[in-house]
Chains A and B, each alone.
Chain A
């Protein structure tokens, strides 16, 4: 965001969420919303994360548990189908993994620098004892 001078911004410790007015925001997907530069949607906090969730869609049953429990609205779902994780805003808390009910889990935590495709290729097998 451009560093404006003291006389160049709106008064008050106030920031606008969107550029211009909004209508049916609940019916508008995030990627289609006119978020302002000040909105936290535009700010990546990926560097807060030390470990990351990796999503393996082969085991996902689209139960939406992760979507409901994610404290940062970072689970991306479309038409009740889990698509993936918003890695600009996920802080790596691991709650999505904790609540995932499948066997094996469809989300697992890995070090930030891990390669997703490699980890998916060596995904743990079904835990027969638990089953």
Chain B
């Protein structure tokens, strides 16, 4: 069945949701099984419109829940198709059980998560609670800071995930509303270039290969389960990172846009670093530039690849810093922030010991303002001058009421 190609301008004004939907169209996904939820709905809605307008050849499966959406994706992927979907927050929470099935079955599904707070209280706005919820699910996890990233990372994710040496599913995170509903200029790739970059889907152990019947989703107990999990972890730890670097390099050749697993901004000589995810990275970069004008050696590290955690690249990025503020946009539920812990863990056995302070911010879509970040850089300079962290190790930024800090 023939489908139409779409003529795109070099720069289109797209929000993150539309950018992701366009990327799914251009990758010529075979099956999307989806259930709508704010703020991710326009991704699958947009894809459905592309299908009804004959820009897409694949199947669109409307299901009765997010659990069913990912289950449909798992079935379609095991059958041997290119598969993608999108969700957010409560929907992701319902989907989590099947996320572990997808990664354990080594099915290269692409999931766009538009990050949103988890209830209660119910909230549709952006924070990273849902991102953190599936942190240990065995998926490769990318983070977009803008609609451009949401567009580009989809192509990169297909190419990484579907490689037969990898065969692990990928999540592309983007911030709810701040990215998903904020229209910006997005540099596009032509339909042909985009599809050629991603490449034709190459099935592996697919159920539609009737000459080689396979059983997917088998049960193992204490005699085999550990070996399967070990294999999956080993591939995540050893194979994925070099593959991502290669695909980033290929993508730069095609588009001129350079991505890194750890995105450094003004870090060459930085003494003060703000480490964060999502749209906050772009805000922090603006503030870092302002702080440079005031004489502070400010830089920003944003995490482009959350899983596999780029342990060595983090150490390399932070080794010459004197103080690092680590921002977690998720309520840690009785612990230091997850990113704080992971970075502290990366640096602990090294000769580098920048002062690490953790911050919880932006829950439920609360803005992280430039003023917040100015205060943050000044606090880091105070810590450097004092030679120690002068505050408690975990502080809340932007919450009303008495100053909240712990540890």
- In the complex, which residues of chain A have a beta carbon less than 8 angstroms from the beta carbon of B211? 21-23
Is A10 on the interface with B (CB-CB < 8 A)? Answer: yes
**In the complex, which of the residues B213, B218, B230 contacts A13, with contact meaning CB atoms closer than 8 Å?**
B218
For residue B162, give the distance in angstroms from its CB to the closest CB of chain A.
13
Contacts of B215 in A (CB 8 A): 14-17, 38
Residue in chain A with minimal CB distance to B167: A11
| A 19-38 to B, binary, CB cutoff 8 A, 1 in contact else 0 | 00111000000000000001
CB contact list, B226-243 vs A, under 8 A: 226-228, 230-232, 234-235
Say yes or no for B220: interface residue by CB 8 A criterion: yes
CB within 8 Å of A: which B149-167 residues: 167
Complex contact B216–A14 (CB within 8 A): yes
Kindly identify which residue among A7, A11, A38 contacts B106, using a CB–CB cutoff of 8 Å: A11
Q: Say whether A4 faces chain B, with CB atoms less than 8 Å apart.
A: yes
Residue of A nearest to B217 (CB): A13
Given contacts A13-B220, A14-B218, contact A6 B212 (CB under 8 A): no
Tell whether A123 is near chain B: CB-to-CB under 8 Å: no
B196 at the interface (CB under 8 A from A): no
- The answer to whether residues A16 and B231 also contact, given A10-B205, A11-B167 and a CB cut-off of 8 A, is no
What number of residue pairs across chains A and B have CB atoms under 8 A from each other? 60
| B214 near A11: Cβ-Cβ < 8 Å | no
Name the prevailing secondary structure of the A interface residues.
loop
Residue interface mask A44-82, B partner, CB < 8 A = 1: 000000000000000000000000000000000000000
B interface residues, how many (CB within 8 angstroms): 24
A14 & B105 in contact (Cβ 8 Å cutoff) = yes
Do B105 and A13 touch (CB < 8 A)?
A: yes
Does B223 touch A at the CB level, under 8 Å?
Answer: yes
Bound CA–CA A83/B172 (angstroms): 58
Query: Which positions 182-233 of chain B face chain A at CB distance < 8 Å?
Result: 205, 211-218, 220, 223, 226-228, 230-232
Check: B104 CB closer than 8 A to any chain A CB: yes
Q: Given A12-B106, A13-B105, A6–B218 Cβ distance below 8 Å?
A: no
Q: Which residue among A3, A4, A7, A13 has the maximum number of chain B CB atoms within 10 Å of its CB?
A: A13
Say which residue of A4, A11, A15 sits within 8 Å of B218 (CB atoms): A15
Chain B residues within an 8 Å CB radius of A22 = 211-213
Closest Cβ–Cβ distance, residue A84 to chain B (whole Å): 27
B residues apposed to A, CB below 8 Å: 104-107, 167, 205, 211-218, 220, 223, 226-228, 230-232, 234-235
Residues on A lying within 8 angstroms of B by beta carbon are 3-7, 9-18, 21-23, 38
> Would you mind naming 10 contact pairs between A and B with Cβ atoms under 8 Å apart?
A11-B235, A12-B104, A12-B106, A13-B217, A13-B228, A14-B215, A14-B218, A17-B213, A17-B214, A18-B212
Contacts A13-B104, A16-B215 given; 20 further ones with Cβ under 8 A? A4-B227, A11-B232, A12-B106, A12-B167, A12-B205, A13-B106, A13-B216, A13-B217, A13-B218, A13-B220, A13-B228, A14-B106, A14-B205, A14-B214, A14-B215, A14-B216, A15-B215, A17-B213, A18-B213, A22-B213
